[in-house]
């Protein structure tokens, strides 16, 4: 992916050199090449503060300056928490300083006296890499924010679902093709004292008698026909002679591997439903 030429020419550049002649030469060169955001300073002690304020895309840094040399400036720039990337090209007349500068974190170097063609090429190449790095960094930040927001949405949704499940008086079940319960959840069984057939893979439980088998058969027939049902009524006579009436709403959902079904009261904010009332 190439960086557009206008982005490169609009990049922010800081020239740091304590020799005014060098500063003016570089400013003129960059201006003639089309760069529009070029600043300069002859005080190396103020470079770190300037970079924290302006976040330069490139710093052209002379190594040999009075009061504070370029190596000390680079050490200070490394403490910038805002930008871990050190966008520095060093300017040096000492061949022995080149390797040391690269080891100190500089990304490239320009030799003195200046070769104007070399200066333009190295600056252009450096800015192209720098701007691509910034685009990647911004993309990663945006991606992290998106992941954070989506994760928060999922957690909120899960919390709402758990709350509805815990507070609802409905319950959810699954049965296999033989009408055997394979999964049951929800508080209604405990509140009403309902016991169901043995769940698949579990130990036997006592099955209560007294169901109206004709009504249950009608419900099974509705489910087998893959028809939804609303407030379907069926009842049971308990051992003590009392009667219970149940109304259930749901919609069968069949899987390919088995003619199983699930009942869900879709009219109730996705709370799965089995509601009851005593006759």
pLDDT digits (tens, 9 = 90+) for 146-155: 888 888 888 8
Nearest alpha-carbon partner for 23 in 4, 10, 7, 39: 39
What top-level class would CATH report for the domain 5-141? alpha beta
| Residue 164 pLDDT class (50, 70, 90 cuts) | low
| Residue 62 pLDDT class (50, 70, 90 cuts) | very high
Distance CA(175)–CA(50), nearest Å, equals 71
Q: What residue spans in the chain does CATH classification 3.30.450.20 cover?
A: 168-277
Mean pLDDT of 4-13: 88
| Residue 65 pLDDT class (50, 70, 90 cuts) | very high
Q: How is the chain split among helix, strand and coil, in percent rounded to 5?
A: 40, 20, 40
Mean pLDDT of 149-171: 67
264 vs 43, more confident:
43
pLDDT of residue 2: 55
Q: Is pLDDT at 9 greater than 80 in this prediction?
A: yes
CATH topology of domain 168-277: Beta-Lactamase (3.30.450)
Q: Which residue has the tokens 């928060």?
A: 152
| Residue 255 pLDDT class (50, 70, 90 cuts) | low
| 201 Cβ contact list (under 8 Å, min separation 6) | none
Q: Is pLDDT at 32 greater than 60 in this prediction?
A: yes
Q: Is pLDDT at 178 greater than 70 in this prediction?
A: no
Distance CA(37)–CA(30), nearest Å, equals 9
Rounded to 10 deg, the angle between the 116-167 and 20-33 helix axes is: 70
Q: What residue spans in the chain does CATH classification 3.40.50.2300 cover?
A: 5-141
**Is the CB of residue 82 less than 8 Å from the CB of residue 49?**
no
Q: Can you give the pTM of this predicted structure? A: 0.52
**Is the CB of residue 275 less than 8 Å from the CB of residue 171?**
no
pLDDT digits (tens, 9 = 90+) for 196-253: 555 555 544 445 567 788 888 888 788 778 788 777 887 888 888 888 777 777 766 6
pLDDT of residue 21: 93
pLDDT of residue 259: 41
Q: Is pLDDT at 183 greater than 70 in this prediction?
A: no
Percent of the chain with pLDDT over 90: 32
Mean pLDDT of 134-153: 83
Question: 3-state DSSP call for residue 82?
Answer: coil
């Amino acid at each position: 992916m190439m960086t557009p030429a206008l982005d490169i020419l609009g990049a922010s550049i800081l020239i740091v050199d304590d020799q005014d002649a060098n500063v003016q030469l570089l400013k003129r060169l960059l201006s003639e090449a089309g760069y529009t955001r070029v600043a300069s300073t002859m005080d190396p002690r103020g470079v770190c503060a300037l970079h924290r304020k302006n976040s330069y895309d490139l710093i052209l840094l002379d190594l040999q300056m009075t009061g504070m040399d370029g190596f000390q400036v680079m050490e200070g720039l490394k403490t910038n928490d805002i930008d871990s990337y050190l966008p520095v090209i060093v300017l040096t007349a000492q061949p022995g300083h080149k390797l040391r500068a690269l080891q100190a974190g500089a990304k490239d170097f320009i030799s003195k006296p200046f070769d104007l063609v070399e200066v333009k090429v190295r600056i252009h190449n450096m800015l192209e890499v720098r701007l691509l790095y910034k685009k990647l960094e911004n993309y990663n930040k945006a991606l992290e924010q998106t992941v954070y927001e989506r994760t928060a949405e999922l957690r909120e949704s899960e919390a709402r679902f758990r709350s509805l499940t815990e507070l609802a008086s409905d319950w959810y079940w699954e049965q296999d093709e033989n009408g055997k319960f394979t999964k049951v959840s929800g508080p209604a069984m405990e509140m009403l004292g309902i016991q169901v057939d043995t769940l698949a893979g579990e130990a036997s439980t006592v099955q209560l008698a007294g169901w109206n088998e004709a009504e249950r058969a009608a419900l099974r027939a509705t489910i087998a026909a893959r028809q939804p049902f609303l407030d379907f009524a069926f009842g049971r006579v308990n051992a003590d002679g009392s009667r219970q009436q149940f109304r259930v709403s749901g919609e069968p959902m069949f899987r390919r591997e088995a003619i199983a079904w699930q009942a869900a009261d879709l009219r109730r904010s996705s709370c799965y439903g089995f509601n009851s009332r005593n006759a």
